[in-house]
Amino acid sequence: MLSPAILLSSQQWAQATFGSVQLGDPRRVQRAVDLAFHLAQHPQASLPGVLSPAGLEAAYRFVHSSHTSYEHLVAPHLQHTRQACHQQAQVLLIQDTTEMDYQAHPTTRGLGPIGNGTHHGFLLQSVLAVVPQHDQLLGLAHQEPFLRQPAPEKESKQQRWKRERESEVWERSVRILGSPPAGSQWIHMGDRYSDIFAFMRQCREQGCDFLVRAYEDRCIDLLVEQGETPVPHDRIIIVAPRCICWRWSSRCPFGRACGWNSRVARNTRPARPFWP
């Protein structure tokens, strides 16, 4: 974890963040530190606004070099942040998706659709680690750029469920970050796009908690802490018109361990519960 003194110094921050990057040549490492220093001093400016003509040409050679990659540049910072997370009693892992819009660069290749499909660019999934008790930002714990894949024409529902989906990036981020150390609590947070059963399940498998902004109405088990014990009829709440059970099958995904099944309300008809 970087100290406040380092965070307030552009030069020290650049050295601490990029000084250990593995680029195969110490001159490239120094170039990365220099670029980070100039951009940290003027975060709102572009490279031409903070570099001399010679420095700008060197910067362009650096970013176009086959020895330089996004993965190499961000790796030390991710490692430092994850180490800091293991030293805290409680960490919020705040996850969100950003659309990187390249509509102003129409000749750029290797991109995909974003937004409503009229612009092109790529998506960036980021996880920020924060200590809530002190409002302290530890840094970036994980980041994954990816492209949106247009749905194939005339794709059936069964085919859609079998192929890899964009929403899996939420679950993947949790799996990569892994489990907290003993005595620590990690809480994954997300907006309504994280209201996915697979994301919640992965959080529980990793021993993490989660806080999401609800998008779907749910079938709520008030006695879930009792595990395999069947839930009495009068302790179940069926929330209409949508239920998480219906998204997976006509029966509750917990099966007889839940002891209850539900069907979705259709039109003006109320939700119809039934016993198996």
Q: What would the pLDDT profile of 210-247 be if each residue is shown by its tens digit?
A: 998 877 676 655 555 565 666 565 555 444 433 344 33
pLDDT at 71: 92
Domain coordinates in residue numbering, the chain: 1-68, 81-150+161-215, 220-274
Give percent above pLDDT 90 in the chain.
Answer: 52
* 165: its two tokens: 């989906």
Which residue, 60, 55, 67, is CA-closest to 28? 67
Could you read off the pLDDT of 37-58 as tens digits, one per residue? 999 998 888 899 999 999 999 9
pLDDT in tens, 124-154: 999 999 999 888 999 999 999 999 887 778 8
Q: How confident is the model at residue 111 (pLDDT cuts 50, 70, 90)?
A: very high
Specify the range with the lowest mean pLDDT, choosing from 81-85, 172-176, 231-235, 243-247. 243-247
Omega before 253 cis (within 30°)?
A: no
* Residue-by-residue DSSP string for 20-48: T---SSHHHHHHHHHHHHHHHHSTTS-HH
Say whether pLDDT at 266 is over 60. no
User: Which homologous superfamily is 81-150+161-215 in?
Assistant: Transposase Inhibitor Protein From Tn5; Chain A, domain 1 (3.90.350.10)
Q: How far apart are CA 10 and CA 12, in angstroms?
A: 6
Tell me which of 26-30, 97-101, 194-198 is least confident: 194-198
The domain covering 1-68 belongs, at the CATH homologous superfamily level, to Tn5 transposase; domain 1 (1.10.246.40)
Tokens of 227: 């595990």
Confidence bin at 155 (pLDDT 50/70/90): confident
Please give the structure tokens belonging to residue 99.
């659309």
| Structure-token pair, residue 273 | 């519960």
Q: What is the mean pLDDT of residues 163-190?
A: 93
What percent of the chain is helix, strand and coil (3-state, nearest 5)? 40, 20, 40
Question: Do 23 and 29 contact (CB within 8 A), yes or no?
Answer: yes
Largest CA distance in the chain: 75
Number of H helices, E strands in the chain: 10, 10
Q: What is the pLDDT of residue 164?
A: 80
pTM: 0.73
The 8 Å CB, 24+ separation contacts for 107-114 are 111/147, 112/147, 112/148, 112/149, 112/150, 113/148, 113/150, 114/148
- Confidence band, pLDDT 50/70/90 cuts, at residue 73: very high
